[in-house]
Structure 1
Amino acid sequence: MKKIRGIIIISALALSVFVYGCNASNAVKGGAIGGVGGGLVGGVIGHYTGSTALGAIIGAAVGGTAGALIGNYMDKQADEMQNDIAGAKIERVGEGIKITFDSGILFATNSSTLESQAKTNINKLAAILNKYADTNILVTGHTDSDGTEPYNKSLSERRAKSVSDYTTMQGVSSSRFSVVGLGEVEPVASNDTPDGKRMNRRVEIAVFANEKLKNAAEKGQLK
């Protein structure tokens, strides 16, 4: 039963997740996934897919017409992020946005100090987040499997916090942020190859609607 439920949930997510730029309507996707049961899916999606960032986005979904309006709001941000932020993977997911930075772009090996180019990218991200202020933001840090689990968890926490702290220094309210260090527990590739390890060393940022945005969408006041 658990396996079947996991397959159903993953299938629902697969219908809603896509790299920004494909032809499907993101706003419609936002409405659809919330209608399936965004809260329920969000509560367990991290367990079944190994993605805390995706779980946060799906869990925040409201669905229906309000979800479609929130999707439009997110489309505008994703457009600007895609155009302005170099070295980041921008994905529209349901009613949110998932941003992935390769840790090699942000940090030196075993460091949690942001590199100069990383600050330039985060400056641009912060400007967009400030423009679209009615969102919550989750920053998750990830490592490969080299080193001990406690060290990797600590490093991932420090890296996620560095991204969050620097973004707040650019004027983004700290009240919008949650920060989690996940170490090596959510790999996106095999740790048996150098390329796989590189992909696993990353920082993910989930952007999703706050209560103010949800309320505006539900009242039809969101343009």
Structure 2
Amino acid sequence: MARCTTIRPVMRPTRLSFRLFVPLLAVGLLVVGCSSLSNTEKGAAIGAGAGGAAGAAVGKAVGETAKGAVLGAIVGGTAGAIIGQRMDKKAEELDENLENAKVQRVGEGIVVTFDSGLLFDFDSAALRDDARTDLREFAGSMKDDPQTDILIVGHTDSIGADTYNQRLSERRARSAGEYLVDQGLARDRLTLTGKGETEPVASNKTESGRQLNRRVEVAIYASKEYREKVQKSVSRR
């Protein structure tokens, strides 16, 4: 028997083009579909049941800010199913092309988690050479999909002062974002933020847990313009 899950409220990030931001608006209680449904079916079921004001099942190893960006862009219904189909294909493409990242489908979007141990040296925001390869592959895949917006979120473990970790996470997000722009992604598609140590996905009491918490997440979701275009197209049918 399929199991359904309820996700607690998350914060929806505002759109501040290529600047660091603080999430401002709370999204309502998010209810997910059953695990037996495909991502496309979930998009349609969400819209039919709650007019788009709902989320989808997500993996535990995703920070609240990345989840909030994707879930906040859900439209649901037939339009959500169309967007979900597009994201299914993009997620498969990214999963095939990115060797050092975890690709997860979330709602009507995608979250890509880069291990910052591969992106950066310890206590550094300078991109490593192998990280440039991964980000170059990511940019190449996303350049042909201008209907999406991209949020980059930097994270750290809990070692060190809170304020220092916050600044480090911001610098790491900015380094990744600037490199993606250098690779041809439009600057106005990107939003950057750092969350410091505030969104751990594992225990900071062990080295293996701290390593998981040192990461960069990239949330991919349909742009406002594309969502409106799809919804208008569906309404005319």
Q: TM-score, normalised by structure 1?
A: 0.84
| In the alignment, structure 1 residue 181 sits paired with structure 2 residue 194 | yes
Q: Which moved more, 1:211-220 or 1:118-127?
A: 211-220
CA distance in 1, matches of 2:48, 2:147: 22
1:38–1:61: 8 Å Cα contact kept in structure 2? no
1:46 alignment partner in structure 2: none
What does 1:55-74 align with in structure 2 at a 5 Å threshold? 55-74=68-87
* 1:9 CA drift (Å): 3.8
Structure 1 counterpart of 2:134, one-letter code: N
| In the alignment, structure 1 residue 142 sits paired with structure 2 residue 155 | yes
1:103 alignment partner in structure 2: 116
Q: Deviation per CA, 1:92-151, whole angstroms, max 9, x where unpaired?
A: 011000000111010000011111111101111001111111111111100000000000
| In the alignment, structure 1 residue 30 sits paired with structure 2 residue 72 | no
Q: Identify if the C-alpha distance between structure 1 residues 161 and 69 changes in structure 2 by more than 3 Å, giving closer, same or farther.
A: same
Q: Identify if the C-alpha distance between structure 1 residues 195 and 60 changes in structure 2 by more than 3 Å, giving closer, same or farther.
A: same
CA distance in 1, matches of 2:51, 2:160: 36
The number of residue pairs the alignment matches comes to 206
Query: RMSD across aligned C-alpha pairs, in angstroms?
Result: 2.6
Q: Secondary structure at the match of 2:143?
A: helix
Structure 1 unmatched runs, 5+ = 43-48
Q: TM-score, normalised by structure 2?
A: 0.79
Q: Identify if the C-alpha distance between structure 1 residues 38 and 82 changes in structure 2 by more than 3 Å, giving closer, same or farther.
A: farther
CA distance in 1, matches of 2:194, 2:182: 20
Q: Identify if the C-alpha distance between structure 1 residues 55 and 5 changes in structure 2 by more than 3 Å, giving closer, same or farther.
A: closer
1:209 alignment partner in structure 2: 222
| In the alignment, structure 1 residue 86 sits paired with structure 2 residue 99 | yes
Q: Identify if the C-alpha distance between structure 1 residues 213 and 9 changes in structure 2 by more than 3 Å, giving closer, same or farther.
A: same
2:17 alignment partner in structure 1: none
Structure 2 unmatched runs, 5+ = 1-5, 10-27, 56-61
Taking only the aligned residue pairs, the percentage that are identical comes to 44
Q: Which moved more, 1:122-131 or 1:29-38?
A: 29-38
Q: Identify if the C-alpha distance between structure 1 residues 105 and 38 changes in structure 2 by more than 3 Å, giving closer, same or farther.
A: farther
Q: Identify if the C-alpha distance between structure 1 residues 39 and 67 changes in structure 2 by more than 3 Å, giving closer, same or farther.
A: closer
